[in-house]
Chains A and B, each alone.
Chain A
Amino acid sequence: DGGITQSPKYLFRKEGQNVTLSCEQNLNHDAMYWYRQDPGQGLRLIYYSQIVNDFQKGDIAEGYSVSREKKESFPLTVTSAQKNPTAFYLCASSILAGGTGNTIYFGEGSWLTVV
């Protein structure tokens, strides 16, 4: 089945450690995105990528890094520089990066907790 797969679903991290969240899509979408959601809040954009080997910072990129070596993969690393990393992280993709009518589809999300 086509879709967006995120792993792991739940992740615990010790303070000072980096952690990487995986996101894979088999929809043949060009654009991929990472969003962060805090309790009771909407989603905020961390990073997005329009094509392979290219990515741009979103609204809250500090303390995060990404790579886009393959079209289907867009992993997110939460670094130790991220001061408040406990949140729900959602990966998404769309056919194209541009166009106001292109629907963005989401994965099931990853819960990250710093212990």
Chain B
Amino acid sequence: AQKITQTQPGMFVQEKEAVTLDCTYDTSDPSYGLFWYKQPSSGEMIFLIYQGSYDQQNATEGRYSLNFQKARKSANLVISASQLGDSAMYFCAMREDGFSGYSTLTFGKGTMLLVSP
């Protein structure tokens, strides 16, 4: 079973509008972290926002916010006031505690966002 599911291969939004990118996750660990990354066409992966499983409030970073619904195991990214520069691939990822004391990231397959003027 996939640990991270992003069901939207592509999304279109007009400039200045808000957009929500969906992410659902699967884990039995009580402690985990959820991350969103942006990958523009240049290829670099840019960290956007983090949400811890024990955090009571939804994370926000500027125009980015994370709609965290723990019971539904969803961690949707909301981008407010879209800009042309937001056009990119967006990845949801989860970090869980490993048995050996390390933890790494498991990625979804991504959502391509296109912002039109």
Contacts and interface: CB of A to CB of B under 8 A. Distances in A.
A98 B102 contact: yes
Given A99-B103, A106-B45, A111-B43, 7 more contacts: A41-B110, A50-B101, A90-B45, A98-B103, A100-B95, A104-B95, A109-B44
A100 B104 contact: no
B107 A43 contact: yes
B108 A101 contact: no
Interface stretch (B12-20, B47-55, B65-73, B80-88): B47-55
A97 B101 contact: yes
A109 B43 contact: yes
A100 B33 contact: yes
Interface in A7-50: 31, 33, 40-45, 48, 50
A90 B47 CA distance: 14
Contacts, number: 80
Interface string B19-57: 000000000000111010100001111110010110000
B50 A97 contact: no
A33 B104 contact: yes
Interface residues of B, number: 31
A100 B102 contact: no
Given A100-B31, A100-B95, A48 B102 contact: yes
B107 A100 contact: no
Contacts of A109: 43-45
